[in-house]
Amino acid sequence: MKSPYSFSFFQPTFFSGLLDDPLLVIGIKPLNTSILVDCGQIDHIAKRTLKSVDAVFITHTHMDHFIGMDSFIRNNIVSNRTIRIYGPESIARRLHSKIMAYNWNLVEEYFCDFEVYEISDHSIRNFCLKGSEQFSFTEKETIKRTSFTVYENDHYLAEAAVCDHKIPVLIFKFTEKPSFHVDDKKISAMGFKTGPWLEQLKKWFYKKQSPGQLDIRLETDDSEVLTFDNPIQLYDLIKNESRCLSIGYVTDVGFTQSNIKTILDLMEKTTLFLCECTFLKSHKQKARESFHLCTSDLNTLSSAIRPGFLLPMHLSKTYLNNSGSFYEELVLPFGSTLIKLPERIKNTPLLPKDIIMNNF
């Protein structure tokens, strides 16, 4: 039995613990691919996970959110894939500068391409860095934005909005597209006998191919056949009305009226809400000065959003060994579940004295 919040397609893993530089991996199960959201502490992530990534969503290019891009490039550069990068204005030049910082006299037969999308309030600028042309920088087109949407395929929708962190910072929401889900009670209430027509309907749903004529036998009289020519009409009669589950990601935003409005507009009905919370409420002034959030700010946001699950993250490292008081200050909205993180999930950094050097 699936819980009401089981994702159909998403498999999210937050790899940073509470204190390390943020990085979220969302596996897209039916596609066998993943997306990365922010690119902070990355070195402990398996190469095969990084190689499954076909899109990276960067909130902003402060070092703690973009430093892992070098390792990401190292793990993916020798491939014949196209990797999409979404970020705020000027990210294309910044990515290009990272790549250009290395020498490219290697003898590989191919390198990957990067398609870069710079998202601002009213437009998306598209650039290409082509591996086969020594990552030459080409601007392709500018697309006008009329909604939050920045990308979609058959399985999910990616949305973004611009907030203020003294520089533009993106917030993201990923929403699963509806999966084929019929309600057995509705089928029996209609008197329909299950049969090959259900498989035909499923193929129509996912492959968008016309199923032709759908013949349904009735439970009460096997000899009687109902024929449907219109799959939409049939699916509407028997579909399970479940809401589409989503993952929201907010980090490094000032607690300003304009940011609060943008966050609440985009994060409405978010299932899993990952939100930065850098400071305890006693350090609210520091949060205000640096355009970050403190615990009382997160309480205000989460009480309005009422997510199914709340995952606070990106706590300042000055609170090392003090995360207990951080969690004590959080007030959870009714019906929400708190996901607590360990302070670190990778090994603690080493000091020289931690290394045993047998040969000396």
Could you list the residues that contact Zn ion (CB under 5 A)? Answer: 62, 252
Pick between residue 62 and residue 155 the one whose CB is nearest to Zn ion.
62
H helix runs in 212-322, sequence order: 231-238, 257-267, 284-290, 295-305
Residues 16 and 22: their CA atoms lie apart, in Å, by 5
Pick between residue 167 and residue 232 the one whose CB is nearest to Zn ion.
167
* Burial class, 352, CB count within 10 angstroms (exposed 0-12 / middle 13-18 / buried 19+): exposed
Q: What CA–CA distances, in Å, run from 277 to 26, 255, 294, 310?
A: 21, 11, 5, 12
Pick between residue 66 and residue 117 the one whose CB is nearest to Zn ion.
66
CB of 316 to Zn ion, least distance (A): 12
Residues 102 and 44: their CA atoms lie apart, in Å, by 23
Pick between residue 22 and residue 131 the one whose CB is nearest to Zn ion.
22
H/E element, 95 = helix 91-100
Give the distance from CA 56 to its chain's centroid.
Answer: 9
List, in order, residues 6 or more apart from 103 with CB less than 8 Å away: none
Pick between residue 86 and residue 111 the one whose CB is nearest to Zn ion.
86
Residues 293 and 185: their CA atoms lie apart, in Å, by 46
Residues 171 and 259: their CA atoms lie apart, in Å, by 10
Q: At which residue do the structure tokens 């009422």 appear?
A: 306
Q: What CA–CA distances, in Å, run from 41 to 71, 245, 290?
A: 10, 27, 21
CB of 170 to Zn ion, least distance (A): 12
Q: At which residue do the structure tokens 């910044």 appear?
A: 94
Residue 126 has φ and ψ, to the nearest 5°, of: -110, 130
Residues 64 and 69: their CA atoms lie apart, in Å, by 10
Residues 126 and 255: their CA atoms lie apart, in Å, by 30
Question: Which residues on neighbouring strands pair with residue 34, listed in sequence order?
Answer: 27, 53
CB of 24 to Zn ion, least distance (A): 16
Pick between residue 64 and residue 176 the one whose CB is nearest to Zn ion.
64
Task: Give the pair of three-digit tokens for residue 44.
Answer: 């402990």
CB of 180 to Zn ion, least distance (A): 41
Pick between residue 27 and residue 40 the one whose CB is nearest to Zn ion.
40
Residue type, position 310, single letter: L
CB of 258 to Zn ion, least distance (A): 17
Pick between residue 251 and residue 271 the one whose CB is nearest to Zn ion.
251
CB of 165 to Zn ion, least distance (A): 5
CB of 60 to Zn ion, least distance (A): 6
Pick between residue 33 and residue 120 the one whose CB is nearest to Zn ion.
120
Give the distance from CA 188 to its chain's centroid.
Answer: 38
CB of 252 to Zn ion, least distance (A): 4
Taking phi over 0 as left and psi of -120 to 50 as alpha, with beta for the rest, 165 belongs to alpha
Pick between residue 118 and residue 252 the one whose CB is nearest to Zn ion.
252
CB of 290 to Zn ion, least distance (A): 8
CB of 329 to Zn ion, least distance (A): 22
